[in-house]
Amino acid sequence: MKIGILTSGGDCAGLNAVMRGIGLYVYQNIPGAEVVGILNGYGGLIRGESRPMRREEFEGILNVGGTVLGTTRTPFKMMTVSEEDGGTRLEKMRANYRKMELDCLFTLGGAGTHRTAALLCAEGCNVIGLPKTIDNDIYGTDVTFGFHTAVDVAAEAIERVRTTAASHGRTILVEVMGNKAGWLTLYAGMAAGADAILLPEIPFNIDRLCERVMQNVREGKSGCVIAVAEGAVLDSEAPFKRKERAFIRVERGENTVTNHLAEVIGERTGTETRASVLGYIQRGGSPSAYDKVLSTRLGSYAGKLAAEGRFGVTVAVCGNTITFNALADIAGKYKFVDPSSEIVAAAEGIGICLGR
């Protein structure tokens, strides 16, 4: 059995740990198996770039961050568009899948990766997906690998910012990754004891937010810390489409709402206000112990699916159980924070302002 592995989209902690789980299971349980790594995501499959991966290589990558295979973003919307040579990227991937004589392809990635994986399945390729993203927004799974590590990193950063805010009596906004879904900001903000948390799913009122800052001042609290998802939306922006909001922000000279919000809060409340963007630090580094265990479980289970000949699926977490979903059922769908959920109620119940 010849098995291919690729990592696609943004990097995150746990990618190598998942590949280790797959590789060790395959070499341990499938006699005569051969594993090849596809380089730089779907781009490598399009160009036919791969290399063999021996068992020994998998044994030493549990703690390594990033991906030993490299990764790129290959937009799903471009997969079926004819290129200059007349073929499509999807056709090239299908042809190289067959040229490499693969019996199965593991695709480690987020929502876009899963959409492309579903296309490959429809083209007759045997594919098994694995849910990777620090955004935790893949439909059909309770959690994605890489999420908990990113929460740990972001929460520690917010905690460190809090000491600066308290020392200087400042209001500090910390921008956390999450353009469509606010899971990372919600968990990190709650774990770090943020005074306010702003999510894409809950458009916020700037007056309500300024009132929260002034409440801290009246109560004599030293400083105020606000966790802001990069996709957070003003309630005045909510009626507009994403592209329209982006245009409005470009006109203001901003990519996200964070810097604009810092200026407004400073002007309205009279507090010294700063903004800090965490950026790619949330995606880098070695995985947490939780993600190492989760990644190993996911990779091992994916190897078991391949051994059983169960393809066209993606591995998922349901409660304490590792299971799978059909790729066709989850591709193109997202999992968002429910504004009426228990975790949101818990945050507001202890006084965290969500801007509404």
What pLDDT digit, counting tens, does each position of 22-53 carry?
999 999 999 999 999 999 999 999 999 999 99
Q: Are residues 70 and 130 in the same domain?
A: yes
Q: Are 128 and 302 in contact (CB under 8 A)?
A: yes
CATH code, domain carrying 158: 3.40.50.460
End residue of a domain, out of 228, 250, 283: 283
Residue-range definition of the domain harbouring residue 321? 2-146+287-330
301-325 confidence digits (pLDDT tens): 999 999 999 999 999 999 999 999 9
- φ, ψ for residue 340, nearest 5 deg: -100, 15
Q: Is residue 16 part of a domain?
A: yes
Q: Are residues 142 and 172 in the same domain?
A: no
109: β partners: 131
Cα–Cα distance measured from residue 139 to residue 146, given in angstroms and rounded to the nearest whole number: 16
Q: Are residues 26 and 52 in the same domain?
A: yes
Size of the chain in residues: 356
Q: Are residues 267 and 292 in the same domain?
A: no
pLDDT of residue 154: 97
Q: Are residues 157 and 110 in the same domain?
A: no
pLDDT of residue 255: 61
Q: Tokens 């921008």 belong to which residue?
A: 175
Q: Are residues 56 and 183 in the same domain?
A: no
Cα–Cα distance measured from residue 12 to residue 280, given in angstroms and rounded to the nearest whole number: 9
DSSP E strands: which ranges in 132-272? 171-176, 196-198, 224-229
Q: Are residues 44 and 121 in the same domain?
A: yes
pLDDT of residue 82: 83
List, as own/partner pairs, every contact residues 79-86 make where C-beta atoms lie below 8 angstroms and the sequence separation is at least 24, other chains included. Answer: 79/116, 79/119, 80/119
CATH code, domain carrying 131: 3.40.50.450
Q: Are residues 220 and 140 in the same domain?
A: no
Among 131-135, 174-178, 235-239, where is mean pLDDT lowest?
235-239
Cα–Cα distance measured from residue 140 to residue 329, given in angstroms and rounded to the nearest whole number: 9
248-286 confidence digits (pLDDT tens): 655 566 666 898 899 999 999 999 999 999 999 999 999
Q: Are 192 and 158 in contact (CB under 8 A)?
A: yes
Cα–Cα distance measured from residue 9 to residue 110, given in angstroms and rounded to the nearest whole number: 7
Catalytic sites, residue numbers: 135
pLDDT of residue 236: 81
pLDDT of residue 46: 94
Q: How many folded domains does the chain comprise? A: 2
